Amino acid sequence: MELTTFGAVVKSALDLEAEVSGFYESVIDVTTDPNLSKLFEALLLRGQKRIKTLLRIRRENVTEMILEPIAGLDSDAYKPVTAIPKGADVGVVREIAIALETRVDEFYMHAAAKIDFLSEAAYALELLADANSEAAQSLRAAI
Partner 1 sequence: MNILGVEVVKNYINGRWVESKAKETQDVINPATGELLAKTPMSTREETLQAIEAGMAAFARWRATPALTRVRHLNRIRDAFEENFEELSKILTMEQGKALDESRGEYRRTIENLECATSVPSLQMGYNTEDIASGIDEMVIKQPLGVFFCVAPFNFPGMVPTWFWPFAIGCGNTYIVKPSPQVPMSQVKQFEIIHELGLPKGVMNMIHGGPEAVNALLESPDTVGMSFVGSTRVGKLLYKKAGEQGKRAQVQGGAKNFLTVMPDANLERTVPALLTSFFGCAGQRCLSGAVLLAVGEIYEPLKKAVVEGAKNIIVGYGLEEGVQMGPMASKQGMDNVLGFIDKGIEEGADLLLDGRGIQIPGYEEGFFIGPNIFADVKPTMTIAREEIFGPVMSIIPVKGLDEAIDIIHANRYGNASSVFTTSGKTARDYQYRVKAGNIGINIGVAAPIATFPFSGMKDSFLGDLHGQGQDAVSFFTENKVVITRWF
Nearest one of 43, 38, 15 to 107, comparing CA atoms: 15
If you ran DSSP here, which 8-state letter would residue 65 be given?
A: G
Q: 60 or 95: whose CB is closer to partner 1?
A: 60
Nearest one of 59, 101, 79 to 3, comparing CA atoms: 79
Q: Does residue number 59 form part of the binding site for partner 1 (CB under 8 A)?
A: yes
The least CB distance from residue 6 to partner 1, in Å, is 5
Site string for partner 1, 33-52 (x = CB under 8 A): --------------------
Q: Does residue number 15 form part of the binding site for partner 1 (CB under 8 A)?
A: no
Total binding residues toward partner 1, as defined by CB under 8 A: 22
Q: 43 or 125: whose CB is closer to partner 1?
A: 125
74, β-bridge pairs: 2
List all residues 6 or more positions away from 55 whose beta carbon is below 8 Å from its beta carbon. Answer: 14
Q: Does residue number 57 form part of the binding site for partner 1 (CB under 8 A)?
A: no
Distance CA 72, CA 75 (A): 10
- Binding to partner 1 (CB under 8 A) within 62-101 occurs at 62-69, 71
Distance CA 22, CA 4 (A): 26
Q: Does residue number 58 form part of the binding site for partner 1 (CB under 8 A)?
A: yes
Q: Which of 29, 60, 74, 130 is close enough to bind partner 1 by CB under 8 A?
A: 60
Distance CA 108, CA 89 (A): 29
Residues found near partner 1 in the complex (CB under 8 A): 1-8, 11, 58-60, 62-69, 71, 117
